[in-house]
Amino acid sequence: MSNAPSPPAATSCSRSWSVSEDSLRRYVNYASERCIQELLSASESGDGWKVLTFRNGVEISRKRSASLHVFRSRWLLRSVSPQQFFMVANAIDAAKQWDPDLVEAKHIKDLNDNLRIIALRFGDASKPLFKKREFVVYERRESLDDGTLVVAVASLPHEIAAGLQPKNGSAIRGLLLQSGWVVEKLEDDSCMVTYVVQLDPAGWLPKCFVNKLNTKLVMIIENLKKLAQTCPVEREM
């Protein structure tokens, strides 16, 4: 698209890009808007999605995108308002559910009130999937006119991430292609939540883990629900 900034050329010695704050903001605005549209599409459409399991009120489905898979979980949360769940639908709380050995989570930069850059680092005690992995992600939070709440989280390109946050020693820079939540308001302070995640097997997801992802997604949903129930109820956004 014409409004997407052209990344500056990377030097062969640094393998990182020095990006101005204005160019960074324009790039992340464009990338996060595209991610939000993909999340909304996933929450509305059943085309191409294969249901893998349905248990405890949670539907887990999968869809192939090019050579990779996108996973989607959908569930109805009763007596949990959209605002309550919105408070725990964030990159840091989700990372803690994926693996509790999250040794560092810090805000690198706020690009505006609803868009920020976050660094996540897992330690030596993490399971093999996350052991010594680092992620540099954006998190964008939006409230739509119909009351739907959307949170989009995805990795920055490696070259841009390296310019913002140099890799820590022997850590491995992971890649989260896209993830996020769509929280739809229902009656009686309940909500329908769609959680979407797309992982890069070449970057950080062993293929043998794919079959275990169903159980992990259900656990993440249940844990975030418990966290949301402890949050105060807010009637207005």
Q: What digits encode the pLDDT tens for the residues 125-169?
A: 988 778 888 999 999 999 999 999 999 999 999 889 988 988 888
Q: How confident is the model at residue 206 (pLDDT cuts 50, 70, 90)?
A: low
Higher pLDDT, 101 or 211: 101
- pLDDT digit string, tens, across residues 150-162: 999 999 998 899 8
Output 78-81 pairs: Cβ under 8 A, ≥24 positions apart. 78/188, 78/190, 79/188, 79/189, 79/190, 79/229, 80/189, 80/190, 80/191, 80/225, 80/228, 80/229, 81/185, 81/189, 81/190, 81/191, 81/233, 81/234
CB 147 within 8 A of CB 176: no
Section 2-24 average pLDDT: 56
Is the pLDDT assigned to residue 12 strictly greater than 70? no
Q: How confident is the model at residue 29 (pLDDT cuts 50, 70, 90)?
A: very high
pLDDT of residue 213: 72
pLDDT of residue 11: 35
The proportion of the chain whose per-residue pLDDT surpasses 90, expressed as a percent, equals 45
Q: Which residues contact 187 (CB under 8 A, 6 or more apart)?
A: none
Backbone phi, psi, residue 225, to 5°:
-60, -45
Q: How confident is the model at residue 18 (pLDDT cuts 50, 70, 90)?
A: confident
